[in-house]
């Protein structure tokens, strides 16, 4: 088997110049995120997205060369948002409790619009050429911020990266589960998630 050769994979077929075309593209991406979140990758069709966006299918293909380019755009937009949440939460030095609270609040906010988009993007949507790179780079920077946070609030220097991964995936798991049950804004959940973070980072229950 020869090494997989990357397709040309243009990101956009045409750059929107006027205001209305910018709005069209935005509407398509937004509707795409909605469809992807609500019906999963299996139900994600270009026709459905166009209809949900209140736009003809032709308009969609005027800007996006194919289906994958569209998913890519959706992915990029979502990941950027999530990343900025973590970046902000871990920006200045602050007590652990504040960090946890802000992180929880931000993550929940980021997932409130399209509750299951994140997981669908991570698990179901294919990462064919072009997105795998963005995907990996996102994951790397994502983990980077978590690692920094762990290093900041944790004594030992051991297993820092593993801890960051455990922490981030635990948070994602809780949020994903809550999203599925429409419980994202339950205050006791937010509190408990915050305490999970604090407890793990304080780590008094764990004599190494």
Which of 46, 116, 160, 202 binds DNA (CB under 7 A)? It is: 46
According to the binding rule CB under 7 A, does residue 61 interact with DNA?
yes
Close Cβ partners of 159 (under 8 Å, ≥ 6 residues apart): none
3-state secondary structure 142-181: HHHHHHHHHHHHCCCCCCHHHHHHHHHHHHHHHHHHHHHC
Q: Write each residue from 16 to 35 as x if it is in contact with DNA (CB under 7 A), else as -, in one continuous string.
A: xxxxxx-xx-----------
According to the binding rule CB under 7 A, does residue 160 interact with DNA?
no
According to the binding rule CB under 7 A, does residue 131 interact with DNA?
no
Report the C-alpha gap between 193 and 142 in whole angstroms.
Answer: 19
Burial (CB count <10 Å: 0-12, 13-18, 19+), residue 74: buried
- Spatial contact of 206 and 154, defined as CB atoms under 8 Å apart: no
User: Residue 61: which of DNA, a second copy, none does it interact with, CB under 5 to 8 A by kind?
Assistant: DNA
User: Residue 152: which of DNA, a second copy, none does it interact with, CB under 5 to 8 A by kind?
Assistant: none
Summarize as ranges the residues that interact with a second copy (CB under 8 A): 40-42, 96, 116, 119, 122-124, 159, 162-163, 165-174, 176-178, 180, 186, 188-189, 191-196, 198-206, 208
């Amino acid at each position: 088997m020869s090494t997989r050769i990357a397709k040309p994979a243009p990101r956009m077929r045409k750059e929107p110049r006027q205001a209305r075309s910018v709005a069209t593209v935005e509407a398509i991406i937004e509707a795409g995120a909605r469809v992807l979140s609500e019906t999963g990758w299996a139900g994600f069709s270009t026709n459905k997205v166009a209809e949900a966006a209140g736009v003809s299918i032709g308009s969609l293909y005027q800007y996006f060369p194919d289906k994958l380019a569209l998913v890519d755009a959706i992915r990029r937009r979502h990941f950027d948002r999530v990343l900025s949440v973590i970046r902000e939460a871990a920006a200045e030095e602050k007590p652990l409790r504040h960090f946890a609270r802000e992180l929880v609040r931000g993550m929940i906010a980021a997932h409130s619009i399209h509750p299951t988009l994140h997981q669908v993007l991570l698990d179901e949507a294919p990462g064919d050429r072009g997105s795998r790179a963005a995907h990996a780079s996102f994951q790397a920077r994502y983990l980077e911020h978590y690692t920094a946070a762990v290093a900041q609030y944790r004594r030992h220097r051991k297993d820092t990266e593993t801890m960051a991964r455990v922490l981030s995936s635990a948070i994602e798991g809780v949020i994903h589960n809550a999203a599925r049950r429409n419980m994202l804004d339950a205050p006791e959940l937010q509190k408990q998630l915050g305490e999970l973070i604090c407890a793990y980072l304080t780590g008094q229950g764990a004599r190494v």
